[in-house]
Chains A and B, each alone.
Chain A
């Protein structure tokens, strides 16, 4: 068995053992059923929810909002990152702000966003966007910073045009960091949108979880929590595989 397969199998085993342990602890009532329901019950409750079609609207709303926030944040974050990288003075001024960015609890601005845009999905998109953009900006700056000097010099020696230098040298050299930015931007889009829905909204998965919690409907609550968890994990897994493939290609060169 190759090392890679061994890693994958071990990871799967770790997850299976963790879920099984949780199942046993819940079934044996060591964890109170009031605190947590067994994962199998979550899964069956989720299956019923999906089959009944009750959460279709919520799913569409949440995922389209996340997708929009993600795409916008990557576009805006990358452009801003490139711009700020080109202007060292602006960058120096913005650095403390970028560094402190994620200690600001953005959800408190949510009522303000509703006052600005009304109670619809726009405040959610904005909160996801505001939350995710900084991660992309920081990743872009990091990536551009770590382009080896030698490569830049080589580009000059080879008299590459600026556009060719960007596409053949700068972007590939910065790619691992940009990819980290993508992963973070996706994470923050999810966090921003679902947390926003959780606090104040009229629909979406976050809203449904909060609604179920307030109604002591722990079946629905845990089913939906599991659903969000599984979806986020699967998307992440796909990104991870893509990243590994990219890194391998680079190592092979």
Chain B
């Protein structure tokens, strides 16, 4: 690809993003006109209030609480998910036994487990982290497992022909081959862990952005709720765009 097409591609992407944002704002404004002040604030008002929130210290203490819980659960989800996924992917029999169980776990509406999590972990950081992990770990396991399972058999046969040891096979054949899928898994896990932490905060916490949202709903502070949702969504989309760019680069490198 020449620099010329790269440039126009990046410009086009920026334009696309702007059009998408513009459309969203239009729909939002139309919805606001339809439902009125009782359920939603207008885009401009929300942006204004979000601006003043971001400048306030109390918001940052809540944001910090969320970020700490999120970082902990993401770290646990990735370590646990990749580890188990690799293990189950390599042990084909164990993988075949376990995969439907994990798919079933993935399907469970985990919000219903919140009484159980509260009873085990009590209120606070550990319950939030547990919530994040139960949401985030399963997709990472499944993506890693499937990446290892669906690896091109020719690659493994080649490594056997070259008489590579198990660790050499993992380091030089397996890891590079599963990396793109693994990054995709981490990206999905990232999103779901965040969802889990926020839901955990909504029910089981007195701090954090999820708490601000649910507190806004119960106090009928529509301004607060809408502004915090906007900030959370903006953060999620920004973080994911970064991960997506990385993901694409991995897949591109793998396919070329």
Q: Which A residues are closer than 8 A to B by beta carbons? A: 3, 6-7, 10-11, 14-15, 34-36, 89, 92-97, 99-105, 107-109, 111-112, 115-116, 183, 186-187, 190-191, 193-195, 198-199, 206, 209, 213, 221, 225, 228-229, 232-233, 236-237, 240
B20 pairs with A93, CB closer than 8 A: yes
A/B interface sample: 16 pairs, CB < 8 A: A34-B119, A93-B16, A96-B17, A96-B237, A99-B241, A100-B241, A104-B232, A105-B232, A109-B229, A112-B39, A115-B38, A193-B109, A228-B112, A229-B108, A236-B104, A240-B103
Residue from A15, A35, A112, A190 with most neighbouring chain B CB atoms (10 Å): A112
Shortest Cβ gap from A7 to chain B (Å): 5
| Nearest CB in chain A to that of B20: its residue | A93
With A93-B20, A206-B109 known as contacts, the answer to whether A108 contacts B101 (CB < 8 A) is no
Q: Tell me the dominant secondary structure on chain A's binding face.
A: helix
Beyond the given pairs A10-B97, A35-B119, A108-B217, 17 more chain A to chain B contacts, judged by CB atoms under 8 angstroms and listed by A's residue number, are A3-B93, A11-B98, A15-B101, A34-B119, A35-B116, A93-B19, A93-B20, A97-B237, A99-B243, A101-B191, A112-B31, A115-B39, A116-B39, A209-B115, A221-B115, A232-B104, A237-B100
Q: Which of A36, A89, A101, A191 touches B116 (beta carbons < 8 Å)?
A: A36
Q: CB-defined interface of B25-65 with A at 8 Å, one 1/0 digit per residue?
A: 00000010011001110000000000000000000000000
The residues of B that contact A240 with a CB separation of less than 8 Å are 100, 103
* A105–B110 alpha-carbon span in the complex (Å): 13
The residues of B that contact A35 with a CB separation of less than 8 Å are 116, 119-120
B13 pairs with A92, CB closer than 8 A: yes
Task: State whether the Cβ of B187 lies closer than 8 Å to any Cβ in chain A.
Answer: yes
With A103-B236, A115-B35 known as contacts, the answer to whether A93 contacts B17 (CB < 8 A) is yes
The residues of A that contact B240 with a CB separation of less than 8 Å are 96, 99-100, 103
The residues of B that contact A221 with a CB separation of less than 8 Å are 115
B191 pairs with A100, CB closer than 8 A: yes
The residues of B that contact A95 with a CB separation of less than 8 Å are 244
